[in-house]
Amino acid sequence: MEPTPQTEGPSRRSVLSRAAAVAAGTAFASSALAQQSASPPSDAHSQNEANKTPTDPFPKNPELDQMFPSSFNPPYSDAGDVTTFKYPFSLGHNRVESAGWARQVTARDLVLSKDIAGVNMRLEPFGIRELHWHVAGEWAFMLQGNARVTAVDSDGHASVDDVSPGDLWFFPGGVPHSIQADAGGCEFLLVFDDGNFSEFNTFLITDWLHHTPPEVVAKHLDVDEKALKSIPPKDLYIFTGSPLQSLDADRKRALGPEGPPKIPFIFHMMQQKPDFDRKGGQIRIVDSKKFNISTSVASAHVRLRPGAIRELHWHPNADEWQFFIKGRGRQTVFTGGAKARTMDFHAGDVGVIQRSLPHYIQNTGDADLEFLEMFKSDFYQDLSLNQWVSRLSPQLVADHLKMDGSVFANLPKEKAGILPV
Ligand code: MN
Ligand code: MN
């Protein structure tokens, strides 16, 4: 594609003078990024390429423009045609049922979302997500309320667990399961290890048995065929069930001679100590090393204080699929070839950062920003700018960036995770 004034990157000279200006600020990372959010830029380094605030005399959707200032008035460092890397659940079709709802973001909505599809589901009090299974593995994060989950593996190990906010579950592909809200109802995020997954095309018990010859079903359930007339002709999907029985009673019923599952289906993510506990926030990492059954989804939960930055980093092993739980922020992705794009994110948004592309996330709101990072992998992996640069000869780095080498000599070798606020 021929470069146009809009897609051209900043000139080499302006990049260098900018780097020098950044070096005069706080070491390496924060000052170039601590610019433009919703308010107009305040210094020369926070301007877009044209160095002016764009006007829009015929506003088509001023509310959206205001919500996404980095799109309408991108920072100076953005350039080129970088594929959209966000999609809000708010734009997803919501399947509304009598006892809850579900909406999804898949590769059909967000082209980059090829490794993972996500579902946001609400169950009203005593709402049940119908007994089912699917080909993809299912990882989940409980957002609000409490639920009881059941699963049975192919060796007959059965599991019944109650989950609360911050808990995870993982059901490998083919493992049948159910989710049942308690008297308070609940909401959760489901993540599937296949971007083309559809939550509205799973193997539901009513749908399956309705589409099996009745004499076959009757033989299995040891009943008269007439008794099967009450099986609903259409799936229930999400419906109101009976109040929950005691967990002990359900567990007793589930326990066979095989005993409980050797590897638990659930994990209390938010009860574990943060892997990074900084002034700017915390990061908790959970992959199959801790949550052994989750062999196809690795994850991190990140909380950023206002103004804090999840440091410039990349993930060598997999694409990152993000879900924003609370707050607002922005991130810039550099795709190589002088191309970069900044986008704003709000609670309920999904983001995808492709494998090995460097990015940062900055809290641009006045409350905590909380989000999840998910990877189709059995392990979590990242590498950061500072981790890299701090291990090199300061002179080698200074030769590249035309800066004073002492800046790099003082960088801590320990991975920051989150930069000091
Ligand atoms: Mn499921
Ligand atoms: Mn990341």
Per-residue pLDDT tens digits for 399-416: 999 999 999 999 999 899
How close is the Cα of 29 to the center of ligand 1, in Å? 41
Which among 156, 160, 194, 198 has a CA at the least distance from the CA of 177?
Answer: 160
Strands 349-353 and 320-326: antiparallel
The model's pLDDT over 108-118, given as tens digits with 9 standing for 90+, comes to: 999 999 999 99
**What's the pLDDT at 46?**
56
Rounded to an integer, what distance in angstroms lies between the CA atom of residue 314 and that of residue 320? 9
Rounded to an integer, what distance in angstroms lies between the CA atom of residue 281 and that of residue 191? 24
Catalytic position from the list 63, 215, 373, 414 = 373
How close is the Cα of 359 to the center of ligand 2, in Å? 7
Note the ligand closest to the C-alpha atom of 104.
1
How close is the Cα of 320 to the center of ligand 2, in Å? 6
Q: Which residues of the chain are under the pLDDT cut of 70?
A: 1-46
C-alpha distances (whole Å) from 224 to each of 70, 369, 418 are 65, 57, 64
Note the ligand closest to the C-alpha atom of 199.
1
Surface-to-core class of residue 6, CB atoms within 10 Å of its CB (0-12 exposed, 13-18 middle, 19+ buried): exposed
- DSSP H helical segments within 58-115, as ranges? 62-67, 69-72
How close is the Cα of 37 to the center of ligand 2, in Å? 20
The model's pLDDT over 19-48, given as tens digits with 9 standing for 90+, comes to: 333 333 333 433 333 333 334 444 444 577
Rounded to an integer, what distance in angstroms lies between the CA atom of residue 43 and that of residue 56? 22
DSSP 390: T
Catalytic annotation present for 373: yes
How close is the Cα of 81 to the center of ligand 1, in Å? 36
Taking only Cα atoms into account, the Rg of the chain, rounded to an integer number of angstroms, comes to 25
Note the ligand closest to the C-alpha atom of 315.
2
Q: How many CA atoms lie within 13 A of 40 on its CB side?
A: 6
Pair 196, 108: CB distance under 8 Å: yes
